[in-house]
Amino acid sequence: QSGVAAIFGPNSPKSAVHVNSICDVKEMPHIETRWDAHTRLPTINIHPHPTILGRVFLDLVVAFEWKDFTIIYESGPWLPGLAELLKMYDPKGYTVTVRQLDLKLNGNFRPVLRRVKMSDDKHIILACSIESMPEVLKQAQQVGLMTDHHQIIITSLDLHTIELEPYQYSGTNITGIRMVDPEEEKIHQVTEFLNASQISKTLELKEGLNPATMRVETALMYDAVLVFAEALRHLIGIDPPHLLETMSLKCDDDDTWHSGLSIINYMKSSTIHGLTRGVRFDHEGHRSDFLLDIVELGPAGLEKVGVWNSTEGLNFTRKKEQTALAFDDGTLQNRTFIVLTAISPPYGMLKDSPTRLSGNDRFEGFGIDLIHELSLMLGFNYTFVLQEDGVYGSLNRETGKWNGMVQELLEWRADLAITDLTITSDRESAVDFTMPFMNLGISILYRKPTKEPPSLFSFMSPFSKQVWLYLGGAYMMVSMSLFILGRLSPKEWDNPYPCIEEPEELENQFSFSNSMWFTIGALLQQGSEIAPKASSTRAVASIWWFFTLIMVSSYTANLAAFLTVEQIHSPISNAEDLAAASGTIKYGAKRDGSTFSFFKDAEYKTYQKMYQYMTENPDLLTSSNPEGLNRVKTENYAFLMESTSIEYIIERECDVTQIGGLLDDKGYGIAMRKNSPYRSALSEAVLRLQEQGVLTSLKRKWWKEKRGGGACSNAMEESGALALEVANVGGVFVLLIVGCVVALFISFCEMLCDVHSRSRELKQGSADDGAEELGMDNVGGVFFVLCVGCSVAVVIGCCDLLCEISKLARQHKVSFREELMTELRFVAKCSGNTKPVRRRKSSSGSRNSLESGLSEQQSADGSKMDLSGPVVVGGSGGGGAPQASGNGKSALNVQLKSNGRKMAMDD
């Protein structure tokens, strides 16, 4: 309502589009300070045009002679400024790789950065907002993109406003651009004025504006106001004076501001010198002519190394620095280094010698040999100095001072330090390290697990309890199946005396006891002299034989492992178990060492719990690794230390071992002062020794060969296969004795049963569980095949019975139902192994014909015959009185007495 003369901003791209449209209709001056590639008529954009800004990066890539590089960008609006770089792609010339930061991972840019590292591309162009820049650089350093071999160009104009100290000594060539020069006098004047005025109080700036950290957005807004004020001053001061009257404009009418176009045209044609130095526009309102500083990050911070403008292009104010030390330039020749070491086997040790030694001859070890190999390769000399207190170096955060080897390096009393010195972030902030000559991690040193004594019934272990129960059930099921099918199948009923064509009774071999004997004989791979005859019983027997083949083979294959392998029992297997067993197992680490610092800075809850336990029990911390080893051997104590040191110990101490895997991943390096000129040369030499296998040979020498190495390995190789002791097979002997005793008892019971005409049966089974036994998941299929086979056998037996009943019903001219019911009633009795033959047609006739034949013979001989003996004929027919023997056999005995002569005829 009160009117407006111009609109500045906004910063939001979406809102800026609407404001731009309204200003276009109302002819209202619109001044933007943000990155925008599309500017309309009434808009003045004081920010450098993206296309022109892209030429800066193009000139830098050409000047650095990059033939391949990777562009990492945050989002789509950054691409217009990179268009010139994308046009450089040529399969025969430049190789351009484009990767976008995944903003959906909540600030986790490591996956993209790891892919860049794996691509081995050393040239990177990073285009992202200044808000995301610190985290991107931090994670790039974490994944290994901040090395001497990497070069990074940062496209943000606010690079000078973020903290870059962590990367000043990384060796990475970081190049950026800036519009605001903090050293200019005008910057200081403006900031002093603003800090003294009411503006800083209005903006609630507690510390005021700082020229070194002033963002380009602030400087551009100041310059935008300055351009607009200059236009107003010009229009008001012209002759005749131009009256500027603001008017109220509404969006729903066609009114425009009559002075708007005049201000816009003057701003486009004006030139001022602001905080971003010279400000001028082209006819479209773009700022296409501007000046930029080229800066590089060095040990002293950001340094200006060149300038760029739209007319002259790139101009470096200093020549490209040459590397202080090259690998082959011979600059290390005849240089003498003071090298710190500590007594820490096998990295540094005092020689055992009957004579007094001095100088470097006093020492030996892995680190000593490594320095010697490096000196031969690079041509330098060295003098070893012993770190008397054995402290490697830790930071006192209250005083900010270091101790140990790191302090010696910082105070220039030594040039290099080599031992099992771990590369940590704290130490890297104070000193430089070569690339790691050994990779390792934290692990647990504990006494060797004890062997569990073998179980007396370990022969039961190959099968689980469930399998033993199923096996017993299968045995009973098959035995019952054979018993039932034997009674159902007609072919299993045999004539005990083949000479009698039509006997009174038939005999069945599959009694209940015989069925169980046949089944157990097949299971134990022994014969039973019982052979099934019917198709149904043969089917059951075949399936059972197949079943026992699989089960016995599986049992035999698994039995050897349970009899010969002794189970190892350890109370802990990893760090989680150790933390949970803190009440029974004590543990600790070396005081003020990198291992203790790891738990101090850890974020994992288990490690935090372990750190709290160690701080609450400071007596569990040791002053050296040998002290920790001694406590492991004499107490119920676990010692946390580096895995390589554990490997060295367990090669010599056979009663301790490493528990679990690695808790972290780190390395040992050679330490030196910050920004040392010989770091690159030493790192490259270490890499070459690694490629040549020298480091592997040195480790084998000092871990497995020297100073008693390989003692435990040789003991393991010499021990062959162990003989089975009584403890391994004692259960079998127990089972044999028990079986013999049971057999005697059964024999006594059979005698009593025979006396009292009764039979008894004794069954006994036992089961046990074992480690890694076979379960139903392993042998369940065999039980399934057994069940299916028994079912098929039952069907076959029933079919045989029905066919036989149908045949007999037709033969004797009775109903099928009557014959079936008679047969089922007999089967349901489940007793006896003989079955009477029913409905014989020629039973009586046989006896009468026999007696007639005998009478004729008596008459012919003229002698007297006395039929005094009983005539016994098996069967139910005939006129005589039949008698059946109790043992199931039938016989015909005819006694002929004539003239004191006796004749017997048996049929």
Beta strands in 824-892 (DSSP E): 834-836
Instruction: Residue 308: name the closest of 262, 340, 286, 277 by CA.
Output: 277
Torsion over CA: 827, 828, 831, 835 (sign):
negative
The CATH fold assigned to 7-48+184-289 is Rossmann fold (3.40.50)
> CA 394 to CA 386: how far, in whole Å?
18
> CA 48 to CA 328: how far, in whole Å?
45
Instruction: Residue 699: name the closest of 346, 422, 441, 340 by CA.
Output: 346
The encoded tokens of residue 25 equal: 């209709």
End-to-end Cα distance, the chain: 141
Instruction: Determine contact, residues 32/16, Cβ cutoff 8 Å.
Output: yes
> CA 621 to CA 596: how far, in whole Å?
9
Residue type at position 877: G
- Cβ contacts of residue 854 below 8 Å, gap of 6+? 865, 867, 894, 896
| Per-residue model confidence (pLDDT) at position 502 | 79
Beta strands in 438-478 (DSSP E): 438-440, 442-447, 450-451
Give the strand pairing for 381-386 and 277-279: unpaired
Over its C-alpha atoms, the chain yields an Rg (Å, rounded) of 51
| Per-residue model confidence (pLDDT) at position 830 | 66
| Per-residue model confidence (pLDDT) at position 153 | 92
3-state secondary structure string across 478-524: HHHHHHHHHHHCHHHEECCCCCCCCCCEEEECCCHHHHHHHHHHHHC
Instruction: Determine contact, residues 39/281, Cβ cutoff 8 Å.
Output: no
Ordered by start, the domain boundaries in the chain are 7-48+184-289, 50-178+292-316, 463-565+763-836, 843-906
Domains 7-48+184-289 and 50-178+292-316 share a fold: yes
Residue ranges in the chain modelled with pLDDT below 50: 319-330, 717-721, 757-771, 840-907
What is the distance, to the nearest Å, from the Cα of residue 237 to the centroid of all Cα atoms in its chain?
A: 77
The encoded tokens of residue 844 equal: 């009586």
Between the CA of residue 646 and those of 607, 649, 723, what are the distances in Å? 20, 5, 32
| Per-residue model confidence (pLDDT) at position 750 | 58
Which of helix, strand or coil describes residue 474?
A: helix
Confirm whether pTM is higher than 0.85.
Answer: no
The encoded tokens of residue 113 equal: 């950065």
> CA 589 to CA 569: how far, in whole Å?
24
The encoded tokens of residue 833 equal: 């192994």
In tens, the pLDDT along 102-157 reads: 767 777 888 889 888 888 788 999 988 888 899 999 998 888 888 767 889 998 88
- Cβ contacts of residue 760 below 8 Å, gap of 6+? 749, 750, 753
Which of helix, strand or coil describes residue 719?
A: coil
> CA 804 to CA 5: how far, in whole Å?
118
Beta strands in 155-256 (DSSP E): 173-178
In tens, the pLDDT along 563-582 reads: 666 666 677 888 888 888 87
- 512-523 helix and 535-564 helix, angle to the nearest 10 degrees: 40
Length of the chain: 907
Strand partners, 433: 671
| Per-residue model confidence (pLDDT) at position 371 | 94
Rounded to 5°, the CA angle 193-194-198 comes to: 110
| Per-residue model confidence (pLDDT) at position 851 | 44
Sort residue 334 into left (φ over 0), alpha (ψ -120 to 50) or beta.
Answer: left
Give CATH for domain 50-178+292-316.
Answer: 3.40.50.2300
